[in-house]
Amino acid sequence: MRPNDSVDTAVETLPSGPVASGGAQRRIRARVWAPLLVAAVVAACLTFIRLPYFAYRPGNVNALTGRIVVTVGDRFEPNGEIFFTTVRQDSSVNGWEYIEAFFDDDIVLYGEGAVLGERSRDENKSFNLDLMQVSKSTAVAVAFRHLGIDPYEATGVGMAGVEGPAEGLLTTDDVIVAVDGVPVLAAGELVDEIRSRSPGQVVSLGVESIDGTSSRTVEVVLGARAEDLTMAFLGVMVQTRWEDVENLPVDVRIETGSVGGNSAGLALTLAILELVTPGEMTGGLKVATTGTIDFDGVVGPIGGLAQKTVAAREGGVDLFLVPEGEYEIAARHAGDLHVEPVATLEDALDILAGLGGNAGELALP
């Protein structure tokens, strides 16, 4: 063919690189999508799986001034404030939250058994609300007693359980009011009377029903304690029956809503004292507290102190009062928050007095 002759040709434009076959392309797509699919499945599992744990996280600080209603007597609005602290309890923990707890020191996981025991979740909620109710009643009693008023009076000894010598003679619907004619109005008085007697001795118990009716006399032959055969044993688990005193010069109602537990005891006591007495108990400070309180004003330990300390630290309070035995825990999480340990109500009042409050001079007007 001569160079000038023209020829029709089919020209194919080729890619600059090698061309993958259909099978190779499918393998490439599989390598890309398989890890993404696995990641999606794992993420879904971590999101929707529910693990048998409770997560405790920092809650918040709650002012008590607006939660306490003075129903009898004068109310004195303070410049300062008493707060109680809470823990946020997540009862439904997924995989992400489980992993988060390993990297966040402010979150603690507890197994369901450690939190619930033999109770269901609904029963546990009711149990904690009952604890708050008892805590409120105790706080009122402790605050009023500090002011020279006793809002409750002991009227007999009830029984949470009956066994041994008393079984079949007494029930948990009974209240013991006398031993051999000697009045016993509190649990400690009954214990002292029984301890002063000997195994085998017959005691005559004055008994009535819980509502104060159906009085009768019950005779019981005392047994002996297994750990000490010389010590008399009645066989009852005692608890004092308390009744409200009428016509008090001051009275309060505490509204805590759905908050449960008994760790606000000290806070409630201090808040009541602040509101029913003139002056500034806190010296104008914002004071957060945590700790149970008993009828003798002793402050007891609580759960979730690390989380409550973080809540107080982030809540902008001036002072955080904590149970003495747990001070080291609070100190580790306090940062620049001022934390003080207390063993009793009096300790708390002494600290407040030292910071400029009139806590050492509280009195009804």
Note whether 139 and 269 are within 8 A (CB).
Answer: yes
Placement of tokens 């303070």 in the chain: 78
Average the pLDDT over 55-72 and give the result: 89
Q: Tens digits of per-residue pLDDT, 68-98?
A: 999 999 999 999 999 999 887 766 766 556 5
Kindly report whether the global pTM for this prediction surpasses the value 0.85: no
Q: How far apart are CA 183 and CA 185, in angstroms?
A: 6
Q: How far apart are CA 178 and CA 175, in angstroms?
A: 9
Distant-in-sequence, close-in-space partners of 241: CB < 8 Å, separation ≥ 6: 154, 155, 156, 157, 158, 175, 210
CATH entry 3.50.50.60 includes domain 153-244: no
Q: Please tell me the predicted confidence (pLDDT) of residue 7.
A: 35
Alpha-helical segments (H) within 74-111? 95-103
Average the pLDDT over 40-44 and give the result: 59
Say yes or no to pLDDT of 119 above 80: no
What whole-number percentage of the chain has pLDDT above 90?
Answer: 59
Average the pLDDT over 55-59 and give the result: 79
Instruction: Identify the band that residue 175 occupies on the pLDDT scale cut at 50, 70 and 90.
Output: very high
**Coil vs helix vs strand at 121:** helix
Note every long-range contact of 101-106, with CB atoms under 8 Å and residues 24 or more positions apart, other chains counting. 101/55, 105/306, 106/57, 106/58, 106/306, 106/307, 106/310, 106/333
What does the angle CA 147 – CA 251 – CA 320 come to, to the nearest 5 degrees?
A: 60
Say yes or no to pLDDT of 122 above 50: yes
Instruction: Output the CA–CA distances (angstroms, integers) from residue 192 to 70, 185, 347, in the order listed.
Output: 38, 12, 30
Q: Tens digits of per-residue pLDDT, 11-34?
A: 344 344 444 455 555 555 556 566
Q: Please tell me the predicted confidence (pLDDT) of residue 45.
A: 57
C-alpha closest to that of 144 among 358, 364, 323 = 364
C-alpha closest to that of 293 among 276, 311, 268 = 268
Q: Tens digits of per-residue pLDDT, 300-358?
A: 998 889 999 999 999 999 999 999 999 999 999 999 999 999 999 999 999 999 999 99
Q: Please tell me the predicted confidence (pLDDT) of residue 259.
A: 84
Q: Please tell me the predicted confidence (pLDDT) of residue 34.
A: 62
What is the second-level CATH architecture of the domain 56-94+129-150+246-361? 2-Layer Sandwich (3.30)
Q: Lowest mean pLDDT: which of 88-102, 146-160, 245-259, 267-281?
A: 88-102
Q: Lowest mean pLDDT: which of 49-63, 64-78, 211-225, 338-352?
A: 49-63
| 3-state percent helix, strand, coil for the chain, nearest multiple of 5 | 35, 30, 35
For the chain, the structural domain boundaries read 56-94+129-150+246-361, 153-244
Q: What is the helix (H) or strand (E) element at residue 237, kind and residue range?
A: strand 236-244
Q: Please tell me the predicted confidence (pLDDT) of residue 1.
A: 39
What does the angle CA 168 – CA 171 – CA 177 come to, to the nearest 5 degrees?
A: 115
Domains 56-94+129-150+246-361 and 153-244 share a fold: no
